[in-house]
Chains A and B, each alone.
Chain A
Amino acid sequence: MRIIKTAWRNIWRNSRRTSITLTAMILSMVVLILTYSLMRGMMIQMEASVTNLIVGEVQIHHHEYLEDRSLYDTVEDPKPIIEAARSADIASAGRSFGYGLISSGTKSAGAQFWGVFPRQEREVDDLARNMLKGEFLSEEPGMNVVLGRKLARTLNADIGSELVVVVQASDGSIGNDLFYVSGILKGVGEGIDRSVALIHYADFESLFVLPGLFHEIVLNSKGKIEAETMADIIRRVSGNNEVKTWRQIMPGVSDMLATYGGAIILFELIFFLAAGLGVLNTMLMATYERIPEFGLIKAIGASPWRIIREITAEAFILGFISSIAGGIIGTLLSFYFMYFPIDLSGFAEGFNTSGIVISASWRAALSPAGIFIPIVAMWAISVLSALYPAIKAARLDPARALNHV
Chain B
Amino acid sequence: MRHYSYLLLIIIFMLPCTGASAKDDNKSEHILNHVDDLFRGNSSHGTFTMKVTTSHYTREMAMEAWTMGKDFSLIRIHEPQKEKGTATLKAQNNIWNYLPKVRRVIKIPSSMMGGSWMGSHFTNDDLIKENRMADDFTNSISFKGARDGTDIIELTLIPKPEAAVVWGKILVVVRAGDWIPLYMDYYDEDMSKTRTMTFSDIKMFDDRALPAALRIIPADKPGEYTEIIYKDIRFNIDLDEGFFTLRNLKR
A177 — nearest CB in chain B belongs to which residue?
Answer: B102
Whole-angstrom distance between the alpha carbons of A109 and B108 in the complex?
9
Instruction: Check B52–A172 contact: CB distance below 8 A.
Output: yes
A67 CB contacts on chain B under 8 angstroms: none
Which of A162-170, A304-312, A332-340 lies at the interface with chain B?
A162-170
Chain A 155-186 near chain B by CB (<8 Å), digits 1 or 0 = 00000000010111011111011100000000
Of A55-63, A100-108, A115-123, A211-219, which binds chain B?
A100-108
Name 6 extra pairs, CB < 8 A, besides A166-B99, A172-B119, A173-B83: A103-B106, A166-B97, A166-B106, A172-B56, A173-B59, A174-B118
Given contacts A108-B109, A173-B82, A174-B86, contact A166 B1 (CB under 8 A): yes
B-chain residues with CB within 8 Å of residue A170 when the two chains form the complex: 56-57
Number of B residues near A (Cβ < 8 Å) is: 25
Complex-state Cα separation, A170 to B1, whole angstroms: 15
Can you list 27 A-B pairs with a CB-CB distance of less than 8 A? A101-B1, A101-B106, A101-B108, A103-B107, A105-B106, A108-B108, A108-B109, A108-B112, A109-B112, A164-B99, A164-B106, A166-B1, A166-B97, A166-B99, A168-B1, A168-B115, A172-B52, A172-B56, A172-B118, A173-B59, A173-B80, A173-B83, A174-B2, A174-B86, A176-B99, A176-B101, A178-B102
In the complex, are the beta carbons of A100 and B56 less than 8 A apart?
no
B54 lies within 8 A of chain A by Cβ: yes
In the complex, A171 Cα to B82 Cα: how many Å? 12
Q: Which of B54, B101, B115 contacts A172 (CB 8 A)?
A: B54
The reply to whether the CB of B147 lies closer than 8 angstroms to some CB of chain A is no
B112 contacts which chain A residues (CB < 8 A)? 101, 108-110
- Indicate whether A12 reaches chain B with its CB closer than 8 angstroms: no
| Interface residue? A72 (CB, 8 A) | yes
The smallest beta-carbon distance between B71 and chain A, in angstroms, is 23
Distance between Cα atoms of A167 and B52 in the complex (Å): 17
Taking Cβ atoms with an 8 Å cutoff, the residues of B that contact A are 1-2, 52, 54, 56-57, 59, 80, 82-83, 86, 97, 99, 101-102, 104, 106-109, 112, 115-116, 118-119
Report the tally of A-B residue pairs with Cβ distances under 8 A: 62
CA A215 – CA B157 in complex, angstroms?
44
How many residues on chain A are close to B (CB under 8 Å)? Answer: 20
Contacting pair A171 B57 (CB below 8 A)? yes
Q: How far is the CA of A172 from the CA of B54 in the complex (A)?
A: 9
Across the interface, which residues of A come within 8 angstroms of B59, CB to CB?
171-173
The verdict on A164 contacting B119 (CB below 8 Å), with A101-B112, A171-B57 known, is: no
- Chain B nearest CB from A193 CB (Å) reads 19
In the assembled complex, the Cα of A72 lies from the Cα of B119 at a distance in Å of 14
Contacts of A177 in B (CB 8 A): 101-102
Among B80, B82, B107, B119, point to the contact of A168 (Cβ < 8 A). Answer: B119
Cα distance A171–B102 in the bound complex, in angstroms: 20
Nearest B residue to A162 via CB reads: B104
| Chain B hits for A103, CB < 8 A | 106-107
Q: Quick check: A176 and B52 within 8 Å, CB to CB?
A: no
Contacts of B102 in A (CB 8 A): 164, 176-178
**B97 proximity list for chain A (CB < 8 A):** 166
Q: A168-B1, A172-B59 are in contact. Are A178 and B83 (CB under 8 A)?
A: no
Closest B residue by C-beta to A179: B102
A100 proximity list for chain B (CB < 8 A)? 1
